[in-house]
Structure 1
Amino acid sequence: MTEKEIEKLERTYSETKIQHICVEWFRQTFQNVANLLFAIPNGGPRSPKSGSMRKYEGAISGVADLILLFPSGGKASLCIEMKTPKRKGKSAGNQSQSQKEWQGLVERYGSVYVVCHGLIEFIEKVCLYLRADPKGYIRDALLNYETYR
C-alpha cells in the first residue's frame, strides 16, 4: 500500500480501529518494549454508575489515549492522543479543553505529548521520540499494513 492509500482507508475507520492498528504496529516492531505502550481506558460511552466508578478509582478527564512509559532524550514518557483523520467535508478530530490542559501538565513535568491521526503520523512521532529514523519503519508498515488490522 502507499501512504495515500492508507490515509484514505483510515478516513473510514473509527478512532478505536486506528488506535488498534497503531498499537499492533508498535508491539510487532518494538517487541522488547511492547508492553510499555498501553491504553488508558478513559473515553467512550459508559453508564453513570461505571463513570462514577472510574472516577472513584482515579480516572482523570483529558488523559491521553496511550502512554509509552519509556524514557528517551531526557523525557519521562510519550503520551499519545489518538484522533480520527480529516474526512471529506469534516475536520480532523480535535482535542477537548481537558485534553489540552492535561497536555500542558505532562509537558511541564517532563513528558512529550503528541496527537496522531493515523498510522503514518504515529510512526513518525514515535520514531522521533525514540530517536529513530522513521523512513524504514514507514516503508515496512506500507508493506505489512494488512497484518496490523
Structure 2
Amino acid sequence: MTRHSLRTLIELARARTDEAARQLGRLTAQERAVEERLKLLTAYRAQYQSRLMTSVREGLSYAALQNYRAFMDTLDRAIAQCRDQLAAARARRQAGQAQWHDKRRELKSFETLDERARRVEQAKNARAEQRQLDERAARALIFPSTDPTE
C-alpha cells in the first residue's frame, strides 16, 4: 500500500470519525434533554403531591380527590414513559460512543501505518543518500581530482 493510499484512507477515516463525534454529540444532547424532562416531571409530581396533601388536610371532596388521583396516575405514567425514553437514549448514546471509539481506533491505526511507512521511506532515502556519499568518496579516493575547486 502506498503512502498516497494511506493518506486517502486516513482522510476517509477522519471524516467518519468526525461524523461519529457529531452523532455522539447529538445523542448526548438528546439524552440530556430527556433527563431534564424527567427532572421536571418528578419535580412537578412532588409539587402536585404536596398540594394534594395540603388539600386533604384542609378537607377535600371525594370528586376532587379522584381528580387529584387521576392526575397523579397520569403523571406517574408520564414519568415511567420518560424513564423508558431515558434508558433508550442512554443506550443510543452508549452505542454512539462505542462507534466513535471504533472510528477513532481505526483512524489511529491508519495513522500508525502511515507513520511507519514514512519512517521506512525516510530510512530508504537516508540509505540512498549515504550510498551516494560513499560512492562519491570512493571515486574521490580512486580518481583524485587535480582541480582543487572540485
TM-score range, shorter chain: under 0.3
Structure ranking higher in strand proportion:
1
Q: Determine which structure has more spread, i.e. the larger CA radius of gyration.
A: 2
What TM-score, normalized to structure 1? 0.23
Structure ranking higher in helix proportion:
2
What TM-score, normalized to structure 2? 0.22
